[in-house]
Structure 1
């Protein structure tokens, strides 16, 4: 069986084919191997979407999953379910992602945010496998947080926007913040563009600057501590371009323990934080693997129900 997956980002669209090794039907019971992949620039929808659909045509996929940049509409009863909504990428506002690929390919299309897809990938096959509550944090061009809570992806009023969590400022930080909406949110203070704007150079050129990474760890740990207190995850997966500065992991872990101050009296925080706050086990593929899982789940959802 073949499955299709899309990791739909603001600068690029990753489209892939996965080969499913068993026929048990449930994502966690299957092993999926990426057999083909293409990256397509995120240009105007009328250019990009046909190129994406053409990649999947004739490939024999049984369903498709899309993890998409947002905000998006995830409410099935809504007339705009499956749409990208109020994105700052104006040309992509009100684009019907689910409808476009359903009509083009004639297969069930699963849909969620890009970070929810990533956490689903890690829960299904990766670092958070067998957890019923976990989060995935990506820190790069923006900051996104995917939340898997009590065995389901979290949606709610819209969907979690925990990358815009409001933070206390580092006492030495005079930077105004990158986010146009909030002066002191995580994305505005700790994303890749924020690091570059504050220090005048991109993150990859600042590896030897202890003050840069002390401040970054301060903000990331503050956010993580708040996520621990609110979501109570059994595993936290932390990734994105900024986290390629590998020294950050130990700095963030130590600071999280300091901030929590022993209040969460659990061995995973107190003694096992090195295996609690981790990079993805799926490497650079949590998003696309999560998209496969979304597609497989949608196929199950669309199966006729027994009387």
Structure 2
């Protein structure tokens, strides 16, 4: 008996700064293109051009949309696939799914970009074999995807860990940059927050500078909150800030034992080193995750 060929899938990873459209032979990337995330019309029309070319060459079996949030991810909600109130100018109330559905009749799945990346790291990357993980991306914003037993966590909406408030270091005065909450964790350590709080651009600041100390403390407080609230087996930290400033992860790892104060005795330094890590898939986590969303909707519909 011959084995069936993998389905021809496409993915859209809609990020705050750039959008990546991907063609896959199943979840194996065949072709990928990066586009700037500008206005909804410009961005999705540019994505549509690539998807249409792929569709014309051979029909797409499904499309996965992995978007920045907040976005409605409940399939039976009337506004499923719609971006809600967001700091990204011009994107609030954008019906992303509706705009893609206008051109394609195949099944289309929607989830957050971080949930998609978490699925990819769980299936193929740094969280293989783990029943629970959190994927954090630190870039234009800060988002986190949670996967339990291979399924992304949804609820009233989806996890919005970037907007929780964490304990500040004694004497900390930076007010934060989040237009909604000021000093939530996104407002403290996202890319725009670092540009506002550090003495020079983050890319020009010596990793050994004490100006990074409070930033490392803030990230460690977030990690402590996640460990105590969710008890994940792996925390994967991606995004432009994390990959360009890996010393921040090391600072946070070293700070964690003092914050936890011995409460989780299994988390010795060696265990923390393994548990909290960079993505094994690197920048491919999001694109692969968008293809996984497409594959999963075919499985769910038994297509």
TM over 0.5: yes
Shift of 1:208: 4.0
User: Does structure 1 residue 35 correspond to structure 2 residue 30?
Assistant: yes
Shift of 1:192: 1.7
TM-score by length of structure 2 reads 0.90
Say whether the 8 Å CA contact 2:16–2:140 is kept in structure 1.
no
C-alpha distance 248-99 of structure 1, shift in aligned 2 (>3 A): same
Q: Deviations over 1:150-175 (max 9, x none)?
A: 43211111111101121222224222
Say whether the 8 Å CA contact 1:168–1:184 is kept in structure 2.
no
Rounded to whole Å, the distance in 1 between the matches of 2:201 and 2:301 is 46
Q: For residues 41-60 of structure 1, what are the structure 2 equivalents within 5 Å? A: 41-59=36-54, 60=58
Q: Deviations over 1:209-232 (max 9, x none)?
A: 521221111000000000000111
C-alpha distance 6-234 of structure 1, shift in aligned 2 (>3 A): same
Rounded to whole Å, the distance in 2 between the matches of 1:207 and 1:289 is 33
Rounded to whole Å, the distance in 2 between the matches of 1:240 and 1:11 is 11
SS in 2 for 1:251: helix
Alignment correspondent of 2:3: none
Alignment correspondent of 1:92: 91
Alignment correspondent of 2:113: 114
Q: For residues 128-167 of structure 1, what are the structure 2 equivalents within 5 Å? A: 128-167=127-166
Rounded to whole Å, the distance in 2 between the matches of 1:105 and 1:156 is 28
Shift of 1:116: 0.9
Rounded to whole Å, the distance in 2 between the matches of 1:94 and 1:196 is 28
Say whether the 8 Å CA contact 1:74–1:155 is kept in structure 2.
yes
Structure 1 runs (4+) deviating above 3 angstroms are 268-271
Alignment correspondent of 2:25: 19
Rounded to whole Å, the distance in 1 between the matches of 2:205 and 2:46 is 37
Rounded to whole Å, the distance in 2 between the matches of 1:239 and 1:295 is 22
Q: Deviations over 1:218-251 (max 9, x none)?
A: 0000000000001110100012222222222222
User: Does structure 1 residue 250 correspond to structure 2 residue 250?
Assistant: yes
Rounded to whole Å, the distance in 2 between the matches of 1:209 and 1:124 is 35
TM-score by length of structure 1 reads 0.89
Say whether the 8 Å CA contact 1:207–1:245 is kept in structure 2.
no
Q: Deviations over 1:123-176 (max 9, x none)?
A: 111101122210011112211111112432111111111011212222242222
C-alpha distance 107-269 of structure 1, shift in aligned 2 (>3 A): farther
Say whether the 8 Å CA contact 1:178–1:189 is kept in structure 2.
yes
Q: For residues 287-298 of structure 1, what are the structure 2 equivalents within 5 Å? A: 287-298=286-297
Rounded to whole Å, the distance in 2 between the matches of 1:187 and 1:219 is 10
Say whether the 8 Å CA contact 1:149–1:231 is kept in structure 2.
no
Alignment correspondent of 1:26: none
5+ long unaligned stretches in structure 2:
1-6
Alignment correspondent of 2:75: 76
Shift of 1:58: 4.2
5+ long unaligned stretches in structure 1:
21-31
Shift of 1:90: 4.7
Say whether the 8 Å CA contact 2:17–2:140 is kept in structure 1.
no
Alignment correspondent of 1:218: 217
Rounded to whole Å, the distance in 2 between the matches of 1:111 and 1:213 is 36
State the Cα RMSD in Å: 1.8
User: Does structure 1 residue 204 correspond to structure 2 residue 199?
Assistant: no
Say whether the 8 Å CA contact 2:238–2:282 is kept in structure 1.
no
Say whether the 8 Å CA contact 2:122–2:150 is kept in structure 1.
no
Say whether the 8 Å CA contact 2:71–2:112 is kept in structure 1.
yes
